[in-house]
Amino acid sequence: MTINPNQLAAALAEVRKAYRLLQAYHRRLCDTLAAMNDVLVNGGLKFTCWAPVNVDRLPRGDRPFFVADRWAWDLTPGYWTFSEWKGENKNGSVAYVRVEAIADTGYDDSSDGEPNPANFGDVERSETELRIELWLAQTSAPNWEAARQGATSSSGMYDGQLRAIEIDRVEYTRQCFHIAIAELVDKAAVQARVVEPLERWMRNAKPRNGT
C-alpha cells in the first residue's frame, strides 16, 4: 500500500484520537460493570471470570504478536467481552449473571480468516450495547452452559421477558435484555437503567416453588 507522508500523518492522528476515545469508552464500561458488581456481590454472588468473546486468546505469550500467522484482530480483546457472576443469593436461589459488553453490534466474523471491518454492518446503524442475562436454577448443581445453549437456539433471546427452559429435567428461568450504552450518559442513567433493575431482580430472585 502506498500513501504519502501527509496522508499517513493524518491517518495516524485519527489512530491517536481513536485510542483516546477507546480509553473513555473503557472507563465508562468499567464504572458500569463495577456498579453491577457491587449489587451482585452484596446480594451473595461471586465474580467468577471475564474473557474476550471476539478473539481466541489475549495477545500475550512467548511469540511475537506481529508474525505473519497472527491476526491484527487479536489486539482488540476489549471489542467484545463477557463477565460472569455465580452463586447462591441471599434468598437461597442458585443464580448466574452474564454481561456481554459489545462495542459494535455490526461485528461480523462469518467469513473465513481474520474478521474484516470493511465487511461489518454500517457504523451508524450499529449499536454499542450491554447484553445482560439473569438466570436462576432449581438445582444445587446447575449446568449453565447447557441452559445458555438451549436459550440461544431460540428467538428473542434478549426480549426482556421472563422465560423458562428445562434441561435434563431441571428448570431454569431467565430474563435477558440489552441496553444501549449511548443511554448511559451519567451516573443517574446507570442507576436507573442498570443498577435499579438489577437490584429488583436480586430482591425477587427466588426459586419458582417458593423454597
Residue 57 · residue 71 · CB < 8 Å: no
Query: Using one digit for the tens of pLDDT, what is the confidence trace for 135-194?
Result: 999 899 999 999 999 888 666 789 999 999 999 999 999 999 999 999 999 999 999 999
Tell me the per-residue pLDDT of 73-120, one tens digit each, with 9 for 90 and over: 888 999 999 999 999 988 888 999 999 999 999 999 888 889 999 999
Task: For residues 1 and 120, give the distance between their C-alpha atoms in angstroms, rounded to a whole number.
Answer: 22
Spatial separation of the C-alpha atoms in residues 44 and 201, rounded to whole Å:
13
One-character DSSP codes across 121-141: PPGGG---EEEEEEEEESSSS
pTM: 0.89
Condensed to tens digits (0 to 9), the pLDDT of residues 25-42 reads 999 999 999 999 999 999
